[in-house]
A and B are shown apart, each in its own frame.
Chain A
Amino acid sequence: MLIKLHGRSLRALSPERSPEPFLGRVCTNPALPAAARSREILLVEGPCELPGGFRAYLTRSETGVARQPNVFFIGAEFPFLGDGDIIRIHPERSGLTVLYRRSSAFNSMLVTERCDNYCVMCSQPPKERDDGWLVDELFEIIPMMSPETPEIGITGGEPGLLGSRLVDLVDRFRRFLPRTALHILSNGRAFADEKFALALAKVGHPDLMLGIPLYGDLPEVHDFVVQARGAFDQTIRGILNLKRHRVRVELRFVVQRDTVERLPAFARFVARNLLFVDHVALMGLELMGFARSNLDAIWIDPLDYQRELAEAVEILDRARMHVSIYNHQLCVLDPVLHRFARASISDWKNLYLEECARCEARARCGGFFASSVVRRSRGIAPFAIAEQSGPMVAQRED
């Protein structure tokens, strides 16, 4: 499923509307007690009488009588919207942005676009500007999220640049959503300052994991990929500090042309030096942002690195580390790797190709990033539904 989380085609049906953008939680129950309505946005299907007191109204039919302020027509857009989802409405721009979907297993929150790395394959290129409002907004919506939310992701930019704001944010999650797993994607450099790592640890979040990218066993490789001299040392020290204070850490290695050569050496390095990290993810490219502008320089067909990938996975697995392969279609993976592959692509980003419809493995396969259609592996071929064996291209000789 590929779904759209942002649109600019709201049509105001009421003359009276807020001048500023505002946040609210979707509600489909017009009979909600009046006292509970002020932060809710009522979503109705057909024409009906709109009860007063809601923050705003979304309707799928144009013919309603808009006696309330902030009534917007959304037509058939955002068909998935439902109770508990959190959205931002920007009346001036006719904009609607879905920030949080209650039914999603994984909601990802952007907290800043600033970053001190400048990765050659960054899918979300950093922007150097004051964007403190992003985290302010997140502070505001945390109390509106369902306590049953399974997992929240914090992404950037580099969340570590928020400093103590990040620590406060994690603390807020702990207080409002104590049963929700929190996954922070960070380059880890800020945690080279042990005091910062300690402050984060002291929050005592019950289910926190930091996903930290490490692109090689050698500083020159990692520093080049992230385009920052000294980043390797800082990232490693960050990881050590976090683990020293019992914060869980996941390493994320993106396989691309510059990193693939030392992929097995990277695995050996991790098994020797960072055995105590909680998870290692070996990931395929997401062809967005810089990855797209640098495509020819960084692209390598996954079919051409199966040997290195298998070797790395074997080394890590033998060291009894948790290892996963992300962002790889099953048909391009060596069959010995299938049990490590996870269907990891967020549901709003993934899609399948035409041939996937005929594929026996589809239910287990992560499919593609929506962005990946610009370059696909030679190895894409459905697993025959009738037979048990895989496609010929997936059978790699050693």
Chain B
Amino acid sequence: MNQLADTFRDRSAFAPSGPYRLLPARFSRLDDRRYVITNDVGEYVVLERPALQALLRHELQPGTPLYADLKSRHFLFDGESRVALDLLALKYRSRADRIADFTALHMFVVTLRCDHTCSYCQVSRQMEEKSRFDMSQAHADRAVEFVFRSPSPAIKIEFQGGEPLLNFDLIRHVVLRAESLNREHGRDLVFVIASNLTRLNDEILDFCKGHRIYFSTSLDGPADLHDERRALPRGSSYRAAVDGIQRIREALGPDAVAALMTTSPGSLPRVREIVDEYVKQGFHSIFLRSLSPYGFAVRTSLVRRYDVDDWVKFYVEGLRHIIDLNLSGYPMREEFAAILLQKMFAPVGNGYVDLQSPAGLGIAGIIYNYDGAIYASDEGRMLAEMGDHTFRLGHLDEDSFEEVMTSDTLVDLLKDSMLEGLPMCSDCAFMPYCGSDPVFHKATQGDVIGHKAFSSFCKKQMAVLRHLIALMEDDASARRVLQSWI
């Protein structure tokens, strides 16, 4: 019956002959029982320890589903087939080429002035009146020239502060100048204003209508949590934010504003409330961030007041809540998970600056400070405010774009941040999804590499990646939600 006609050979005639060979890979513990093994191009397989041992000792049986998956995902090859090597080379190259598309994000610190006095602010605040903390028009013009020197086809110009709306005239100037230059360059050009929205007014909104300008604001959670750390001499910062969000949506459309939260020790037990606040404000996306160790935060040593384990608990609970929201019909993405999942499942990766190897420093983003100094990343600029100039790439008055992008500072930083060469990372299964955060390690440990056994960045990365992989493996309904974020 179920047989092929005589002129055909059956499956066994095509089974690979001889032993298999291993391909380059890394493995790490997933939980008590299981390991995750990944290759250089980010494919992974979860397997139990005996299976891992069997694999590495060449004792794995062909014909089993595990063998087939390991072979399909390029952890081994056998028989006469060698095409796995071609495909691996190709995938490696494609990942590397992403880097060639560099400098998509350009941040302009148009002023350092701010009307808030937040205890954990990542930028050292300056008094509102001191206009010597504003960026000059000459520096802005020169920075716009730099923007168009970068080869990226998509360009985002982000206005930061301080509170950038305190220097809206310069924002208007930069937008018009960039747009007029872009008529010739034809890039995909968008603008983002990172603002606390207290200074939002109709004049600003009217201007934004005619241009591709988006807003990004802070929303830390319910009013008391938000206002606890965002001190406004008069009025409520929370009210300003939620009113501003509504006004922007009405004037510019529902997707014209995004919110970003900052985690403080007070947030840790309240993740559900925070997520629900985002739902209440009509957001379909939230980024559950960890508190960064820069600016005031380091000085007030808030970082040490809560431990990575507490944050991981906060994160896991928040993610569960978000998945449940999706399952009950409210679509919502958690952006940190989305970034990692994209690295795991979308082969070309993405451009999130803080999670790249080599670090996205200068490559995915570059920052022009109010005084004309150029930094490799926003956090690098904040370190500079604290007197550490490791990440200063040059100055708008002194250097050309080419000089900045080939500066020894940048090249050395990038070299040091290739995870492939770092102790522990070089053997870590999570490496293809991780990324280095040299600024973080410089701030906390004094060197850009950092000892990963002491690094809370590493601890956080491992915990979240383990959690996500376990969800993908063990929880079918969560998997469906997570997949929809890729």
Contacts and interface: CB of A to CB of B under 8 A. Distances in A.
Q: Do chains A and B touch in the complex (CB under 8 A)?
A: yes
A293 B5 contact: yes
B64 to A, nearest CB: 13
A319 B347 CA distance: 9
A237 B86 contact: yes
Interface in A237-290: 237, 240, 258, 262, 265, 268-269, 271-273, 275, 290
B29 to A, nearest CB: 24
B483 A318 contact: yes
Interface string B56-100: 000000000000110111000001111100110011000000000
Given A227-B9, A272-B347, A273-B87, A217 B72 contact: yes
A138 to B, nearest CB: 29
Nearest to A222: B14
Secondary structure type dominating chain B contacts: loop
A232 B81 contact: yes
Contact of B72 (A120, A269, A275, A297): A269
Interface size range of chain B in the complex? 35 or more
Interface string B13-33: 111100000000000000000
A272 B91 contact: yes
A294 B5 contact: yes
A230 interface: yes
A220 interface: yes
Nearest to B79: A219
A294 B3 CA distance: 7
B411 interface: no
Interface in B2-58: 2-5, 7-11, 13-16, 41, 43
A233 B16 contact: no
A273 B80 contact: no
Contacts of B483: 314, 318
Nearest to A275: B347
B483 to A, nearest CB: 7
Contact of A265 (B5, B69, B80): B69
Contact of B68 (A232, A233, A265, A296): A265
Contacts of B8: 118, 120, 227, 294
Interface of A is mostly: helix
Given A218-B72, A219-B79, A297 B4 contact: yes
B118 interface: no
Nearest to A314: B483
A140 to B, nearest CB: 35
Contacts of B15: 220
A229 B87 contact: no
B83 A237 contact: yes
B37 to A, nearest CB: 16
A236 interface: yes
A233 B16 CA distance: 13
B486 A223 contact: no
A102 to B, nearest CB: 39
B219 to A, nearest CB: 30
A233 B14 CA distance: 13
26 contacts: A217-B72, A218-B71, A219-B16, A219-B81, A220-B11, A220-B16, A220-B79, A229-B80, A230-B80, A230-B81, A233-B82, A233-B83, A236-B86, A240-B90, A262-B68, A265-B69, A268-B73, A273-B90, A275-B348, A294-B4, A294-B8, A296-B3, A297-B3, A298-B4, A314-B483, A319-B346
Given A219-B83, A233-B82, A296-B3, 12 more contacts: A217-B72, A218-B68, A224-B9, A232-B81, A237-B83, A268-B72, A268-B73, A275-B347, A293-B5, A294-B5, A297-B3, A318-B486
